[in-house]
Structure 1
């Protein structure tokens, strides 16, 4: 299978996997802290690295029905959040193409 190539990020604050420290996103790519995940608080990011996307599926969420893909750390394969592929509500379309990282699954890394 080979070794996984990880992308390293640089910035004032870097969020990464709480299990293996793989980098996911910087504070600069954060869109909002006002989200709820399966494990509590969650953050919306414009882009993330070092994740593997699962298959798309339709999911009923508090803001309506969305097509989402679970995302997994490429290093340790832990599920860390999801990606919004499609929002049916016009007011929710700003989420399309963005990523949720669950606060319980990430930490600030060096």
Structure 2
């Protein structure tokens, strides 16, 4: 196994709650209306510093999908899932997008834990 190179993001970022690895930015949010088994989740256009699990079919609120769980490369924590294939044509926009579960990440959605690399003027 080779060395893991991590991407450092700029701006308002979302990080792994356990190890603070950068995962995505507020500019990559596509939707804030997703739900997971433990509460709210956001749909992101792009997520970095992750590894993926095994493809599996999963029945969700909006239908059947082929998904992979996604894991933080910093600590190995499961942080959400990625849509590989939507079986319903109306849900195709989700393919290739990732869902991060809010209870597993920190970021601008946390009023007490704003994550930014710049000045908050």
For the aligned residue pairs, the C-alpha RMSD in angstroms reads 1.1
Give the TM-score, by structure 1 length: 0.94
Aligned to 1:78: 77
Q: Does the alignment pair 1:9 with 2:9? A: yes
Structure 1: how far apart are the matches of 2:4 and 2:15? 16
Aligned to 1:92: 91
3-state secondary structure, aligned to 1:91: helix
Q: Tell me, which stretches of 5 or more residues in structure 1 are unaligned?
A: none
3-state secondary structure, aligned to 2:53: strand
Trace 1:41-60 onto structure 2 (pairs within 5 A): 41-60=40-59
Structure 1: how far apart are the matches of 2:53 and 2:24? 19
Task: Give the ranges of 4+ consecutive aligned residues of structure 1 lying more than 3 Å apart after TM superposition.
Answer: none
Give the TM-score, by structure 2 length: 0.86
Trace 1:8-27 onto structure 2 (pairs within 5 A): 8-11=8-11, 13-27=12-26
Q: CA deviation at 1:38?
A: 2.2
Larger radius of gyration: 2
